[in-house]
DNA sequence: CAGTGGTCTAGACCACGAT
DNA sequence: TCGTGGTCTAGACCACTGG
């Protein structure tokens, strides 16, 4: 067995038998290096593989930690983030990074209005930032949106306050890496793998309600999709 | 700018301007190392990041190549792999690794029958293996399945020959790494990131038709999901 | 058989986090 | 300030691929 595999197995075992619990910090890279009479390169090879596997994660310059359970998410249902997270035993939080109006240029293929709202938020579970989202919608349709409580469910605001009826949505899902600015917002190193979701939601008239880009940490989410 | 980022940018640029086209082999790690007066560790840092990004991929001990376009896949529709691939300009292929009957033990929570078929296949686009799947179904429901052409659409066989009506399906999607045996089948290094999809399909009676596990290379697929 | 990627050693310096 | 992870150097040997 290769050395990095031994290190991997060692950590896997300690997690499996509970000596390392969810959220715990792993020994430092140098401590592991000494324990295995090895080098940091090899230790980091093992850590990187465990990270790809989703067993551990790193926060920039703070260290390596045992990954919590994944949030099970059904994108096609209207259950909101707070409810979903709480049902699964997490303490959710949403931090609004920014809301601004901008001219409809880059997204003009999507919206008919000439001014858009752009909202950026970070969502956390038990204090761990796991998702960044950018929400784009028509400013004329959602007049004075900035005065609404934007750290809650935007969907609820849209349906209750603006009387939008969300009829259907389309998600495009791919695996890629966090853009640098998103990585910073999520306290991750640049280049961290993620699940990217582009969501478009429509009214029954066919009009586009919002166009959203979400970046989920790859180890923080499990999507459940029902077809037909 | 960091050295590995310079190397990354160099390769990105060469891909963007077409000097490196889809499927092309990159210069060897040692050639890149010399070109940047650096070391293989740093070169490999850059290559690993480009791989995570999906721009390049490696085949075990053969080298690094420019990633082809992603297959756009709508899991909830019944369009089969061949048709989908051809519509998008790929030449698809399916290789059946094995078909065997086994006792219903590990999956007994899913099927009522006491014997199951287990089929393992690898699917390729333009000669590149991109997906491994294991199909499990009830042997009594699909009598003599091994005499059917298993390198085509199993769905078509089930509907046409066995008169199954597929009513709905549930997919559970997560990001993880290829298990070692799957990595070998796909000519990848162990630890390669992937999209794992567990699909269950049901008849309108609610009976489970098949229980499938799919591993897609993370850079080979883009899923499109329609909700409501 | 030559060249490639896969694994590994034994160090180093720096920026940032915790305290 | 000290310890951490992030980046980087300068090598080495081995297993496998391809010619």
pTM, rounded to two decimals: 0.94
Report the alpha-carbon distance of residue B23 to residue B32 in Å, rounded: 18
In a 10 Å sphere around its CB, with 0-12 CB exposed, 13-18 middle and 19+ buried, how is residue B206 labelled?
A: exposed
> Encoding tokens for residue B169?
């399906």
Average confidence score pLDDT of chain A: 93
User: In the CATH scheme, what is the code of domain B71-223?
Assistant: 3.40.1410.10
| pLDDT single digits (tens) A74-132 | 877 778 899 999 999 999 999 999 999 998 876 556 788 889 999 999 999 999 999 99
Residues 6+ apart with CB under 8 A from B19: none
Q: What is the pLDDT of residue B108?
A: 55
pLDDT at A104: 84
Is the pLDDT at A224 greater than 80? The verdict is yes
Q: Answer yes or no: do A223 and B174 touch at CB < 8 A.
A: yes
Is the per-residue pLDDT at A64 higher than 80?
yes
State the pLDDT at residue A107: 57
* CATH T-level assignment (fold) for domain A3-66: Arc Repressor Mutant, subunit A (1.10.10)
Residues 6-45 of chain B with CB under 7 A from strand D are: 37-42, 45
What pLDDT, on the 0 to 100 scale, is given for residue B18?
A: 95
The structure tokens listed for B19 are 């000097």
Does at least one atom of strand D sit less than 7 Å from the CB of A208? no
Q: What is the pLDDT of residue A105?
A: 77
Token pair for B136: 């499990």
| Cβ–Cβ below 8 Å for B54 and A224 | no
CATH 1.10.10.10: which residues of chain A?
3-66
Q: In whole angstroms, what is the distance from residue B157 CA to residue B139 CA?
A: 14
Contact B215, B196 (CB under 8 A): yes
* Residues of chain A with C-beta less than 8 angstroms from the C-beta of B41: 41
User: Quick check: B52 CB within 7 A of strand D?
Assistant: no
Structure tokens at B3: 């050295």
| Phi and psi, residue A183, nearest 5° | -55, -45
**Segments of chain B with pLDDT less than 50:** none
Contact B168 A227 (CB under 8 A): yes
Locate CATH 3.40.1410.10 in chain A.
Answer: 71-223
What is the pLDDT, as a whole number, of residue B91?
95
Q: How many CB atoms lie within 10 A of CB A164?
A: 19
């Amino acid at each position: 067995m290769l050395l990095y595999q031994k290190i991997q197995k060692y950590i896997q075992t300690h997690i499996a038998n509970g000596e390392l619990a969810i959220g715990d910090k792993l020994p430092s890279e140098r401590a592991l290096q000494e324990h295995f009479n090895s080098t940091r390169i090899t230790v980091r090879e093992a850590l990187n593989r465990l990270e790809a596997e989703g067993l551990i994660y790193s926060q920039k310059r703070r260290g390596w930690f045992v990954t919590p359970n994944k949030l099970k998410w059904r994108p096609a249902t209207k259950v909101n983030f707070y409810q979903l997270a709480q049902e699964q035993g997490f303490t959710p939080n949403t931090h609004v990074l920014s809301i601004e109006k901008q001219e409809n240029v880059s997204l003009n293929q999507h919206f008919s209005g000439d001014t858009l709202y752009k909202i950026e938020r970070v969502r956390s579970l038990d204090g761990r930032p796991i998702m960044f989202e950018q929400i784009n919608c028509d400013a004329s349709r959602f007049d004075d949106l900035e005065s609404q409580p934007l750290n809650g469910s935007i969907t609820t605001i849209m349906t209750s306050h603006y009387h939008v009826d969300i009829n259907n949505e389309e998600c495009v899902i791919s695996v890629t890496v966090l853009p640098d600015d998103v990585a910073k917002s999520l306290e991750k190193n640049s280049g961290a793998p993620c699940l990217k979701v582009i969501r478009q939601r429509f009214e029954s008239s066919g009009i586009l309600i919002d166009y959203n880009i979400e970046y989920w940490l790859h180890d923080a989410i499990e999507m459940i999709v029902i077809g037909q």
